[in-house]
Every structure is written in C-alpha cells, then in structure tokens.
Amino acid sequence: DVKVTQSSRYLVKRTGEKVFLECVQDMDHENMFWYRQDPGLGLRLIYFSYDVKMKEKGDIPEGYSVSREKKERFSLILESASTNQTSMYLCASNPQGSYEQYFGPGTRLTVT
C-alpha cells in the first residue's frame, strides 16, 4: 500500500518566516509533486521533481522553492512566507511511466 506522509497537518507561521514543508513516500517513486489547493481554484501545481536533485517549475512557482536530496523526500520551501500563501498544501508521488498520483494528507498552512 502506497504511503505518502507530510510532516504537519496544521502549521501557523508569521509573515516573513522561512517555512519548510516535508513530504516522504515509501514506494521508491521517481516523481514527486507539490500542489496548493484553494477553494474555487482546484489543485495547482507548484513544483515537481522527476528524480533526485531534478526539479521543474509548475504553474505557480513564484515565492516557492523545492529540494530533493533523497528519492523518498521532497521539500517545499517558502523563503519568506506571506499571507497570500495561506493554503492547503498537498504532496503527491507516482512511479515513472505511471499516471496515478498518490496524495499525502495535506498541510494546512496559515500565515499571519
């Protein structure tokens, strides 16, 4: 059974703080994704990674960066959190050549 975990379910940070969101998958998947989910806007891709140390910008990368030093772990970094980054963040993964994405439980981030 595929398991994708995220470091926190809820997170509250102050404006200007550096924020790290961690995602870990235990199925040796090559691809990992970070989305943000906002009401009425659906799931929007921030960044994805198709291999260790490889990354590609998604549709809304501004204000975010990512790190993938190990295959199982994909981190999303908010260099200087702002209130408009308050959102639900979802991580997902899948193996290369497959299309079904397996999602983590999400992190609800509030920036005050």
Shortest reach from residue 102's CB to other proteins, in Å:
8
* Residues numbered 44-103 forming contacts with other proteins, rule: CB under 8 A: 44-45, 48, 50, 56, 58-59, 90, 94, 96-101, 103
Task: Find the binder of other proteins among 12, 51, 105, 110 (CB under 8 A).
Answer: 105
Minimum CB distance to other proteins smaller for 40 or for 62? 40
For residue 74, which of 6, 2, 3 has the smallest C-alpha distance?
A: 6
* Amino acid at position 33, single letter: F
Closest CA to 29 of 91, 106, 89: 91
Using CB atoms within 10 A of its CB, is residue 76 exposed (0-12), middle (13-18) or buried (19+)?
Answer: buried
Closer by beta carbon to other proteins, 64 or else 81: 64
- Candidate residues 40, 62, 69, 84; the one interacting with other proteins per rule CB under 8 A: 40
